[in-house]
A = this chain, B = another copy of it.
Amino acid sequence: MEVDKVVRLPRLSRVAVCGGTHGNELSGVYLVRELLKGRKEVMEKEKKNEVEEKEQQQQQQQPPSVLAVLANPRAVEQCRRYVDTDLNRCFTHAALKGPSSGAVPYEVIRSRELNATLGPKGGPGAVELVCDLHNTTANMGLCLIAYSDRDWICLHIFRHLQRQMPDIPMRYIHFDVSNKETYSLDSVGKHGFAMEIGPQPHGVVRSNVYAAMKAGVQHMLDWVCFFNSGSTFEGEYVDVFTMIKHIDYPRDSETRNITAAIHPRLQDRDFCLLRPEDPLFQTFSGETLRYEGNEALYPFFINECAYYEKGIALSLARKRRVMVPAIRVQTEERAQVDEAGVEE
């Protein structure tokens, strides 16, 4: 009976590691370039007749095939978040299937190219896992952001990273939107998440943030390798932060310019409980404005640069403990057993 408590999930054959979805979030840009360079070096090695040895290694370890993708090369070139529109909002079915004639924004065209390479979204041919690399100006440490709080692959990867990188503050954020509304690049994979690390100014790369991202990606790929090779991962509880609402800056009613900044006592305190009546903003003339909500919630994306234009000064989450079951890869033999229903 004990075996039955282990959830069996399909092998993760292909993992996409994407950076530069926002062209000025530089850790991911340079990490993907490093991965692409590494692949070039691997390919050169292979030319030197080392292919056989490598294949033997792979058969033992069962690593996934890794696709490194620079998602928005034109925005990267200009070191801007985007050229025409935010690429990471272009992966809805509506945008992917919309008209392709007329003035189609660059990022919409690019989202369709990426969907062709990594998807199609929702289809059987989509890559098994998309890890999309992001940076934030908020003091958020390393976060995995996903649409599901019951994607056991993402949640087990998160726990693995937490264990492997104990010095990095780490949280799992859940954006609760229905399947039809998912809009970001990571939604193209069968599983997917954004790996968001901060604080780092956009247009800047900081060694410590780059190193954390590199380690995070390496541990993620290691985990996939362990998973594919047949390791069982024990069930456990995971804290999940589910996004509840966004709060905008106070704005001038005429000009729509902001009239206050995040209060100094809230700045950099992402994931520290915000209670009713706590200081929220400080106006440019020096007045304190307080949190008027009724429920204590966890703030995050506090003072994220790119969200000024989206009308988001911070987001608020509710924390929940989620029981994540033990998982193991579904072997071919096992899949046949499952299909025959013998142990169901």
Chain A interfacial positions (CB closer than 8 Å to B)? 30-31, 33-34, 79, 137, 199, 201-208, 210-211, 257-258, 261-264, 267, 282, 284-285, 303, 305-306, 308-309
Contact = CB atoms under 8 A, between A and B. Distances in A.
A210 B262 CA distance: 11
Nearest to A281: B207
Contact of A257 (B33, B257, B305): B33
A210 B34 contact: no
Given A31-B284, A285-B34, A262 B207 contact: yes
B204 A305 contact: yes
| In the A-B complex, the 5 residue pairs with the closest CB atoms | A201-B201, A203-B305, A207-B264, A207-B261, A137-B201
A201 B33 contact: no
A204 B284 contact: no
A30 B284 contact: yes
Candidate in A257, A305, A309 with the most chain B CB atoms within 10 angstroms: A305
A262 to B, nearest CB: 6
A204 B107 CA distance: 24
B207 A282 contact: yes
Given A34-B285, A201-B201, A201-B305, A263 B137 contact: no
A94 to B, nearest CB: 28
Given A201-B137, A303-B206, A79 B308 contact: yes
Given A33-B257, A257-B33, A137 B204 contact: yes
Contact of A262 (B206, B211, B264, B285): B206
Nearest to A31: B284
18 contacts: A30-B261, A30-B284, A31-B284, A34-B284, A137-B203, A199-B201, A202-B203, A203-B308, A206-B262, A206-B267, A206-B303, A207-B262, A207-B263, A207-B264, A208-B267, A210-B261, A210-B284, A211-B264
B305 A208 contact: no
A172 to B, nearest CB: 25
A80 B23 CA distance: 14
A152 to B, nearest CB: 33
Contact of A261 (B79, B206, B262, B264): B206
A210 B303 CA distance: 14
A328 to B, nearest CB: 34
Contacts of A205: 258, 261
A137 B205 CA distance: 11
Contacts of A199: 201
